[in-house]
Amino acid sequence: MSNMPYPQPGSASDAAFIGIGEIPSGKYPKRGFMAQLVEAAARAIQDSGLQHTDIDQLVLIPNLHGIPDQADLIFSRVAEELGLHGRVKSSMMVHSGGSTSDNATRAAAGLVASGQARNVLVVQSEKWGSADLTEMVDMLSVNGIPREWEGTSGLQFNAIGGLITQRYMHQSGSTPEEMASVCVALREWARLNPNAMWKDKELTVEQVLASKLVSDPIRAIECPYLADGAAAFVMTSATEARRNHDSWVRIGGSGGCVSHYSSGQDAELGELGWPKAAVEAYDAAGWGPQDADLAEVYDSYSAVLTIALEGLGLSKKGEAARDFHAKRFSPGGEFPVNTNGGLLSAGHTGVGGGMALLVEAVRQLLHRAEPERQVAGAERCIVGGSGGSYMDAQIMMLERVEK
């Protein structure tokens, strides 16, 4: 993907983000799965300036909480719920775990660029926060874990987070206090985000380190909180965007690397696929970390984020945790990272965790965030997603375009 030339801004085949929608994340047991999805979709369509009947293609992001709701997604219930039955050409699903939003964007952009769709709605909904906890623990202990080898040893996602964190701390010499600072920085951003799960609760390094040890060395507050939530965005062509909008967001380039399925098969858990994916993305976009105004990168555990930031060249090797401790990535710091609070404080909405970060990137580049959270003059953002046991690294280089 990244070795193919991308259209220049404003060309007819250049896909554009023109609208986003999101609802608050957290535990909302009385808020239905489909009701969440429809509300997020309606907000995105309204934000785009389109009518719902202008949508001619649906790209759906799956849920992880239950098969019945998944079946409704697969068999086009969303088209009916949105009043688009008989109007949309297709309703399809894209799934790659935490990197799904990046790949769904590629699918939507490809449909626009090839002329197969005019206005594409990409939408996601998840009920992780209200789902049966035992079922969710069982699911996270089996899916994405090699049954023949690692599953038999009892490995599950918190254990993988612990392994990756141990490796990172050993290589970087980072202290528990520095690692805890990642959670604190993200909480500071979440406190500015009205949609964040933990917007009303402050956090300190001492509180992080005093929480229960879950999987050495990570503690309870360093694990993501399962949440309900939904988000959506609309893509169209640059020609349509220029006709109806003063600004929009384009994909300047992208890169990706699938590094493993089994954690034991990754040659370097302290790097994962980020360095290789970054080379491809930066080459495709023609700009790199020194040119970015902010980054929105997958962060289900602190080390997952620090490893990614170093692989992206946004921190020097071994220095990301110390950069967080020095408040470089906090509100008011040198470089904004995960301005919605990330999965660790905005809430982990399953596959939607990456979707929320992508939507936040578009929001920032459209200059539609709340004043206290808006990155002044934001024009370029690096978005990073990762799925499964951090099996891949997917990067989108997003750019603001104005008439």
- What is the pLDDT, as a whole number, of residue 288? 98
Of the pLDDT bands very low, low, confident and very high (cuts 50, 70, 90), residue 137 is confident
Average confidence (pLDDT) over 82-107: 96
> Burial, 221: exposed, middle or buried (Cβ in 10 Å; 0-12, 13-18, 19+)?
buried
Rounded (5°) CA angle 381-332-228: 60
Lowest mean pLDDT among 55-69, 137-151, 163-177, 315-329: 137-151
Average confidence (pLDDT) over 152-168: 93
> Burial, 136: exposed, middle or buried (Cβ in 10 Å; 0-12, 13-18, 19+)?
middle
**Alpha-carbon distance 122 to 37, whole Å?**
10
Average confidence (pLDDT) over 332-360: 97
Token code pair at residue 386: 């990762």
Average confidence (pLDDT) over 101-117: 96
| Span 145-156, pLDDT tens digits | 888 888 888 888
pLDDT higher than threshold 60 for residue 5: no
Average confidence (pLDDT) over 268-297: 97
Average confidence (pLDDT) over 1-17: 55
Average confidence (pLDDT) over 246-273: 94
- What is the pLDDT, as a whole number, of residue 402? 96
pLDDT higher than threshold 70 for residue 300: yes
Amino acid letter, residue 375:
V
- What is the pLDDT, as a whole number, of residue 309? 98
pLDDT higher than threshold 80 for residue 286: yes
pLDDT higher than threshold 80 for residue 353: yes
Give the bridge partners for 296, in sequence order: 383
Q: Domain boundaries in the chain?
A: 15-131+229-244
Q: What percent of the chain has pLDDT over 70?
A: 97
**Alpha-carbon distance 256 to 260, whole Å?**
13
- What is the pLDDT, as a whole number, of residue 6? 42
Closest by Cα among 136, 149, 303 to 223: 303
CB 196 within 8 A of CB 370: no
pLDDT higher than threshold 80 for residue 9: no
Query: Exposed e or buried b for every residue in 265-293, given b needs 16+ CB within 10 A?
Result: ebeebbbbbbbbbbbbbbebbebbeeebb
Give the list of residues 6+ apart from residue 201 with CB closer than 8 angstroms, or none. Answer: 187
**Alpha-carbon distance 186 to 183, whole Å?**
5
Q: Per CATH, which fold does 15-131+229-244 belong to?
A: Peroxisomal Thiolase; Chain A, domain 1 (3.40.47)
Amino acid letter, residue 266:
D
Give the bridge partners for 395, in sequence order: 255, 384
- What is the pLDDT, as a whole number, of residue 1? 36
pTM across the whole model? 0.96
pLDDT higher than threshold 70 for residue 388: yes
- What is the pLDDT, as a whole number, of residue 145? 87
